[in-house]
A and B are shown apart, each in its own frame.
Chain A
Amino acid sequence: MMTLIIKVICVYLAGVGFGMIVNLPLRAFNVAGLSGVVGWLVYYLVSLLPSAGLGISNFCGAMAIGLFSMIMARIMKIPSIVFDVPGLVPLVPGSQAYLVVKSFTVGDSHLLGLYAAQLVWISGSIALGFIAAEGVFRVWQQIKAYRSIFKRS
C-alpha cells in the first residue's frame, strides 16, 4: 500500500515535469499531473486482474487518459492534447524500448525478438485505447444530441 502511494506521487510529479518540458500554460499543470495519475492507476488496477496481460492493461490505461482529457478539455476550455501528452508518459514502454536496444548491441537475437514483440504489442494497445476513447466520446455526444432533439419536440 505504501509503495502504491509513493508510486502515485511519482506519477503525478512525472506528469507535471513533462508538462514543463513541453511548455504547458500554468493553469493546466495540476490537471496534467492528475491525468497521468488516472491513466496509471487504471493501468495498475487492471494489471492486477488474474487474466490481464500487457495488452489489456495498457489499453484500459490509454482509454482512461483519453476520456479524462476530453472531459477536462470541455470543462477547462483547453485543447485536449494538453492533457494527453503528460498523461501518456507513465505508460510509455520505455524499459522495453531500452531492452530492445540493449539486446541489439549485445547481439542476443532471441531476447531482441521477445522485447520487440512486447514493444509493438504495448504501443499498439495504447494507440487502440486512444481510438476507443474517441469512439466512446463520439457515441456519447450523439446520444446527447438526440436527447436534446427529443426534449425540444
Chain B
Amino acid sequence: MASVENQSYYQLVINTCLLAGKIMVENGSDLQRVEDTIYRIGHNAKMKSINAYITVTMIMVSSTDPNIPAQMINVNKRSFNLTKVVKVNDLSRKFAAEQINIETFYQQLQLTDIQNDFFSLKMQVLGAILVSGPLVVVFRDNVIDALPACAVAAITWVFFYFMNRYFNIRFVSEFSSAFLLAGISALMVRIGWAHNMDDLIIGSVMPLLPGIPLTNAVRDLLAGNLVSGPARGVEALISACALGFGVAVGLHLF
C-alpha cells in the first residue's frame, strides 16, 4: 500500500510522464516514441505498473494501484520544433542513467515547455532559400531559375511567418501564402527575371510542405495507432489541399 509520502512521489512521477508526453506530442514527435518515453520514465522511477493512453489531442496516464488517481492532460496546440523533442529525450536518458532525480527532471521539463528556442526569422528565411533554389535544380534540371525561386521563397516565408503570428490559423496562412507565391512567380516571369513559371512555383512551394505530419501519419499507422494515424493524415491532407487551392486560384487569376 502506498503511504502518504509515497503517494506524493507517485503523483510527481505521473505528472512528469504527462508533461514529457505533452511536450513531445505538441512539437511533432511520433506517438510510438512518446509511449516508449512515458513507460521508460515510469519504469526508471520504480513505479510498479503504469498505463498510458496517447492520442494527438490527449494523454492519459494511470497506475494499477487503487490509491493513485489517474491523470490526463489536454494537448491543444501543435507546432514543429524537433529541438524540444530531442531535449526531452536527452532528459529522459539522463534520468535513466540516474544523473538527475525526479524533482530536477520535472523542473527541467517545465523550463523546456515555456522556453522559446525557435531559430530567428533570418535563419528561417535562409532555410526556405536553401530548400527552394537547390530543389529547382534537382527536380527540373533548371539552373537559371534557381535564384528567382530563392527570392520568391524568401518573400513567401516572411509573409507566412507573420500570418502565422497574427492570424494563428495554419490553413488560412498556407492558402494565402500559396496564393501570394503564385502571384509573385507570375510577376517575375512577366517582368522577365525568370523563365519558367512552373519550375518557380514547384521550387518555392517546397518549404511550406507539411513534412512532419506526413511522416508521422505513416509511422503512426505503421505502429498500429488507428486513432492518431488517420488524424495526422487528415491534417497533412488539409495542409496540402490549402496549398494546392492557393496555387490554383493564383494560376487562375494571374
A residues lining the B interface (CB < 8 Å): 3, 6-7, 9-11, 13-14, 16-25, 28, 40, 77-79, 81-82, 84-86, 88-90, 92, 94-95, 97-102, 104-105, 127, 130-131, 134
Given contacts A20-B123, A20-B126, A97-B244, whether A81 and B29 have CB atoms under 8 Å apart is yes
Q: Is the CB of B135 within 8 A of A105?
A: no
B residues lining the A interface (CB < 8 Å): 28-30, 33, 80-83, 85-87, 89-90, 93, 117-119, 123-124, 126-131, 133-135, 137-141, 198, 201-202, 205-207, 209, 211-212, 214-216, 218-219, 222, 240, 244, 247-248, 251-252
Provide a sorted-by-A list of 20 A–B residue pairs whose CB atoms are within 8 angstroms.
A6-B137, A10-B134, A14-B134, A16-B130, A17-B128, A17-B207, A20-B127, A21-B131, A23-B80, A23-B82, A23-B118, A23-B119, A24-B83, A81-B28, A84-B215, A94-B202, A98-B198, A101-B247, A130-B219, A130-B222
Residue of B nearest to A6 (CB): B137
Indicate which residue in A11, A20, A130 contacts B124 across the interface (CB closer than 8 Å): A20
Q: Is the interface of A mostly helix, strand, loop or mixed?
A: helix
A16 / chain B contacts, CB cutoff of 8 Å = 127, 130
B198 / chain A contacts, CB cutoff of 8 Å = 95, 98-99, 102
Q: Is the CB of B128 within 8 A of A131?
A: no
- In Å, the complex CA distance between A38 and B195 comes to 31
Q: Is the CB of A77 within 8 A of B93?
A: yes
Q: Is the CB of B117 within 8 A of A10?
A: no
Given contacts A17-B207, A22-B82, whether A101 and B89 have CB atoms under 8 Å apart is no
How close is A104's CB to chain B, nearest CB, in angstroms?
Answer: 6
Given contacts A17-B130, A18-B207, A98-B247, whether A25 and B137 have CB atoms under 8 Å apart is no
Q: Is the CB of B222 within 8 A of A13?
A: no
Given contacts A7-B137, A14-B130, A101-B247, whether A94 and B206 have CB atoms under 8 Å apart is yes
Residue of A nearest to B140 (CB): A95
Given contacts A20-B123, A79-B29, whether A92 and B82 have CB atoms under 8 Å apart is no
Residue of B30, B141, B209 contacting most chain A CB atoms (<10 Å)? B209
- In Å, the complex CA distance between A107 and B120 comes to 42
How close is B135's CB to chain A, nearest CB, in angstroms?
Answer: 5
Q: Is the CB of B80 within 8 A of A18?
A: no
Q: Is the CB of B215 within 8 A of A81?
A: yes
Q: Is the CB of A14 within 8 A of B82?
A: no
B240 / chain A contacts, CB cutoff of 8 Å = 97
Q: Is the CB of A25 within 8 A of B82?
A: yes
Residue of A nearest to B141 (CB): A3
B82 / chain A contacts, CB cutoff of 8 Å = 22-25, 79, 81-82, 85
Q: Is the CB of A101 within 8 A of B138?
A: no
- In Å, the complex CA distance between A105 and B240 comes to 16
B222 / chain A contacts, CB cutoff of 8 Å = 130-131, 134
Residue of A nearest to B27 (CB): A23
Indicate which residue in B83, B93, B129 contacts A25 across the interface (CB closer than 8 Å): B83
> 5 tightest CB-CB pairs across the interface, nearest first?
A17-B130, A20-B127, A10-B134, A17-B131, A17-B127
A101 / chain B contacts, CB cutoff of 8 Å = 244, 247-248, 251
